[in-house]
Amino acid sequence: MKLKKIMAVILAASMMMSLAACSNSTDSAEKAPSNDTTVTKAPDAGTNTSDAEEAHDPVSLRFSWWGGDARHEATLAVIDLFEKEYPWITIEAEYGAQDGYNDKLMTQFASGTAPDIIQLETGAAPEYYAQEQLLDLSSTSIDFSNFDPTFLENNGQFGSGSQYAIPMGKAGTAIVVNKDLADKIGIDFTKPYDWNQLIEWGKQVQAYDPSLYLISGNETYMMPFILRAMARQMNGLPIINDADNTLNMTEEQFTQALEFIKQLYENNVAVPLSYMATYGVNNQDDPNWIAGKYVAYVGYTSSADVMQAANPNANYIAGNLPVFADRKSDGWVNDCPQYVGIYAKSKNPEEAALFLDFFFNNEEAMKTLGTVRSVPPTEKAQKITLESGKLNPLTKMAVDVSMQYNGKSDSGKTTSAEVSAILCTAYENVAFGEKTPAEEAKEIVSLINDYLAAQ
Amino acid sequence: MKSSKIAKRGQKAYIYILPWLIGLLVLQLYPFIASFIYSFTNYNAFGKMNFIGLDNYIKLFTKDREFYKSIGVTLKYTLLTVPGKIILSLAVAVMLNKARKGIGIMRTIFYLPSLFGGSIAIALLWKLLFMDSGLINSILNFFRISSISWLGDPKVSLVTLSSLEIWQFGSSMVMFLAALKQVPQSLYEAAGIDGANRAQAFFRITFPQITPILFFTIIMQTINALQNFTSAFVITKGGPVKSTYMLGLKLYNDGFAYYKMGYASASSWIIFMLILVITLILFGTQRYWVFYEDEVK
């Protein structure tokens, strides 16, 4: 029995050690998104007759992205097209849902095993650039002549003057409105309106039928919709001034913004977060959305078609976006839904550049991709998509709406994972009524200052 | 001659334990030591690293409010799951111990959930079951009970996660079953002659006899619960309002989402110390209630 005691001590000790020793390898295995798929596409050798194929050693590249089924299918089809044209290059596709995408990428960066070609979240890309994980694309063979130079400068250069990431589409915040329902209740999203109008409309909806809500919005999208947009409208600037590591927003301004969030949930203008929580950002799965119980959905132009497809019986339009009457800037931004970049440590940067050049400049590729990453980023691709009938009218309307505002992107420290988490926590605490707007505003200022001090 | 044979056998033994040894050195000892070193640096996983002394630890205790909240959540989770699991597994084990027919099948069925361990698939299943429009609420609605926001209500969410852990009670149950089988029948017979009833027999004979296994199970389950990560990560992401933000998840977020590997390493060492202290306390209590036969004087 003494032996049992000793065994117990040894076992207990080794189990405890396993936590402090939580290694990268176990983590990356555990945290990979469950619906992640890795498919190796075999090169279609026989199809290319050019004699160039003899001269090249076979090269294999990895390309990772997130998205829904339509995006996966179109992207895989473009990979097929590319491999037919460049038979010595094989592209391994690594795709899945957006859940956990950044976490996985982070472990890959840390271990030096990131894919050669990487789709990047706009909020996270500045950090990857700062950590020197992205290749300078201006030094590669990629032809950027189809892009609008200002659009490129604002999206993916991170102030460096060189292109480190390519915007994959044109996008912005979108309010997808169920027009039939809005008309029935007497709500008009096509005219300009201010933030308080949303609260009034919300009350109107509840008075019409208490089982209906004005806004369906998940926390991940609602936080930037309110806090970051209000900041840009109040000051014409992002929440954080990246150059000197200071806050542009004051505590009073945060209180004002959080007060709005409180109103939103106290008056049942927006669907309670406790209900939204289980759907994450997959709001097309919400049975109430499918049943047409919400007047509007707050999201991005890139997901407009997905939301539309979930309930095809309704007529949808893209609504205008709320603004303060005394704003310094409209705040709403036309930027891109995601970037694509090449890993700085890629062993085959030339081939990766060949692929991206094909991806953005080949007409067949443009036609195949359509709007699976929102409206295409180049004029030429937009024209081709329109002509082929692949430009979803709702997506186009949403992008057109977002282009009428003059806001500037706040991509940078404001959009970093840690600051976003601080703001989301504050949003949640106020929405659940756990803390008052004033308490949370104080907390945000203190936490962001801590974050900035460590930069 | 003889000694060289023994030496040869000794060498062979090393080859046999080599896989385990390599695993221990590479997957346990190396990260264990590395995380200790990282905890004194501002390592961000991209390569840059400066030694900053005890700053990470000081920040954890003085500035990080989420850290205290996470400790609270983790302890609450442990207090919910460990007793829940022990009581359920013991009760089922006692039941199965009495059963004569179909015990093999029943044992397998009860053991199955344990095999799934901390798997992502089971966590996703739990999420689907307990969603607002999930199966559990549908069943409640069928009996005209109104829906409960299992994952969205901060007061309920931790209980929902605990239920997943408690559901996987099979491995403790198998241990208890083995322990129950080892209790000598002669003791019960003697007690029967002395006129003891069933409750007396359980608390005076069965319980003391299985305390070593009970003690072992409590230790293992406590360590397990304090390290929980998967369910919080997959099902609730720590929400709502951080009500399920366990230490394991906070550590993960600090390291892999906010690029603060050094800071995360420091919190992993705090969790290690926390587990160590709790385990030592449990070991300290064993002489008051754990009965080892060889200690009878």
Residues in chain B: 297
Residue B12 lies in a domain: no
Contact between chains at B292 and A18 (C-beta distance less than 8 A): no
What distance in Å separates residue A367's CA from the closest CA in chain B?
36
Stated pTM of the model: 0.82
DSSP code string of B132-193? TTSHHHHHHHHTTPPP--TTT-TTTHHHHHHHHHHH--HHHHHHHHHHHHHS-HHHHHHHHH
A352 contact partners, CB below 8 Å, separation of at least 6:
A61, A116, A117, A135, A342, A343, A346
The answer to whether the CB of B226 falls within 8 A of the CB of B78 is: yes
A34 touches chain B (CB under 8 A): yes
Sign of CA dihedral B174, B175, B179, B182: positive
How many other C-beta atoms lie within 10 A of the C-beta of residue A294?
25
The confidence score (pLDDT) of residue B115 equals 80
Residue B33 lies in a domain: no
Query: How many whole angstroms separate alpha carbon A261 and alpha carbon A455?
Result: 29
DSSP A299: E
A29 touches chain B (CB under 8 A): no
B34 contact partners, CB below 8 Å, separation of at least 6:
none
The confidence score (pLDDT) of residue A171 equals 86
The answer to whether the CB of A289 falls within 8 A of the CB of A297 is: yes
**Per-residue b or e along A64-75, where b marks 16 or more CB atoms closer than 10 Å to that residue's CB:** bbbbbeebbebb
Note the ipTM here.
Answer: 0.82
Chain B CA closest to residue A107: B256
The confidence score (pLDDT) of residue A448 equals 95
| Structural domains in chain A plus CATH codes | 25-167+338-372 (3.40.190.10), 173-334+405-453 (3.40.190.10)
The confidence score (pLDDT) of residue A121 equals 92
Structural tokens at position B23: 């695993």
Contact between chains at B275 and A27 (C-beta distance less than 8 A): no
Strand partners, A59: A89
DSSP code string of A308-370? HHHSTTS-EEEEP----TT-SS-----B-SEEEEEBTT-S-HHHHHHHHHHHHH-HHHHHHHT
Contact between chains at B292 and A1 (C-beta distance less than 8 A): yes
Residue of A149, A114, A139, A147 whose CA lies nearest to A128: A114
Query: How many whole angstroms separate alpha carbon B232 and alpha carbon B74?
Result: 11
Task: List alpha helices for A374-416, DSSP H.
Answer: 379-387, 393-403
Give the pLDDT mean for B65-89: 94
What distance in Å separates residue A14's CA from the closest CA in chain B?
9
Residue of B231, B215, B211, B219 whose CA lies nearest to B77: B231
Q: Which of A274, A345, A416, A423 should be substituted to probe chain B, the one whose Cβ sees the most B Cβ atoms within 10 Å?
A: A274
A173 contact partners, CB below 8 Å, separation of at least 6:
A224, A225, A229, A298, A299, A300, A301, A321, A332, A333, A402
What distance in Å separates residue B19's CA from the closest CA in chain A?
17
What distance in Å separates residue A219's CA from the closest CA in chain B?
10
Which chain A positions have a beta carbon within 8 Å of B269's beta carbon? 20
The confidence score (pLDDT) of residue A455 equals 78
The total number of structural domains in chain B stands at 1
Strand partners, A296: A177, A215
Which chain B positions have a beta carbon within 8 Å of A27's beta carbon? 252, 256
Angle CA B139–B141–B144, to nearest 5 = 120
The confidence score (pLDDT) of residue A36 equals 43
What distance in Å separates residue A439's CA from the closest CA in chain B?
14
The answer to whether the CB of A225 falls within 8 A of the CB of A173 is: yes
**Within the 65-84 window of chain A, which residues sit less than 8 Å (CB to CB) from chain B?**
none
B96 contact partners, CB below 8 Å, separation of at least 6:
B103, B106, B107, B110, B173, B177
Domain extent, residue B164, equals 64-295
Contact between chains at B256 and A277 (C-beta distance less than 8 A): no
What distance in Å separates residue B4's CA from the closest CA in chain A?
31
Query: How many whole angstroms separate alpha carbon B92 and alpha carbon B106?
Result: 10
* CATH code of residue B120: 1.10.3720.10
Strands A316-319 and A37-40: unpaired
- For chain B, the average pLDDT equals 88
A439 touches chain B (CB under 8 A): no
Angle CA A209–A213–A218, to nearest 5 = 165
The answer to whether the CB of A420 falls within 8 A of the CB of A225 is: no
Q: What is chain A's Cα-based Rg?
A: 24
Cβ–Cβ pairs < 8 A, chains A and B: 145
User: Which one-letter amino acid corresponds to residue A94?
Assistant: E
Q: In a structure prediction context, what are the per-residue pLDDT tens digits for chain A, which is 455 residues long?
A: 455 555 555 555 555 555 554 433 333 333 333 344 444 444 444 444 444 445 788 999 999 999 888 899 999 999 999 999 999 999 999 998 887 898 899 889 988 899 999 999 988 899 899 889 999 999 999 999 999 888 898 899 988 889 999 999 988 999 999 999 999 999 999 999 999 999 999 999 999 999 999 999 999 999 999 999 999 999 999 999 988 999 999 999 999 999 999 999 999 999 999 888 888 888 898 999 999 999 999 999 888 888 998 988 899 999 999 999 999 999 998 888 899 999 999 999 999 999 999 999 999 999 999 888 888 999 899 999 888 887 888 988 998 898 889 888 888 899 988 999 999 999 999 999 999 999 999 999 999 999 998 87
Q: Which of B49, B241, B290, B295 should be substituted to probe chain A, the one whose Cβ sees the most A Cβ atoms within 10 Å?
A: B241
Strands A59-66 and A89-96: parallel
User: Which one-letter amino acid corresponds to residue B6?
Assistant: I
How far are the Cα atoms of A21, A100, B147, B289 from residue B46, in angstroms, in the given order?
A: 19, 19, 46, 50
A2 touches chain B (CB under 8 A): yes
A421 touches chain B (CB under 8 A): yes
Contact between chains at A428 and B240 (C-beta distance less than 8 A): yes
Contact between chains at A20 and B215 (C-beta distance less than 8 A): no
SS3 of chain B: helix, strand, coil, percent, to 5? 75, 0, 25
Contact between chains at B132 and A278 (C-beta distance less than 8 A): yes
The confidence score (pLDDT) of residue A32 equals 37
Contact between chains at A23 and B219 (C-beta distance less than 8 A): no
- Listed as own residue / partner, the contacts of A10-13 with beta carbons closer than 8 Å and 24 or more positions apart are A11/B216, A11/B220, A12/B219, A12/B220, A12/B223, A12/B279
User: Which one-letter amino acid corresponds to residue B293?
Assistant: E
Q: Which of B258, B268, B274, B282 should be substituted to probe chain A, the one whose Cβ sees the most A Cβ atoms within 10 Å?
A: B258
CA A269 from centre of chain: 25
Task: List alpha helices for A155-250, DSSP H.
Answer: 179-185, 195-208, 219-223, 229-235
**Of residues A259 and B119, more confidently modeled:** A259
Contact between chains at B28 and A18 (C-beta distance less than 8 A): yes
The confidence score (pLDDT) of residue B100 equals 73
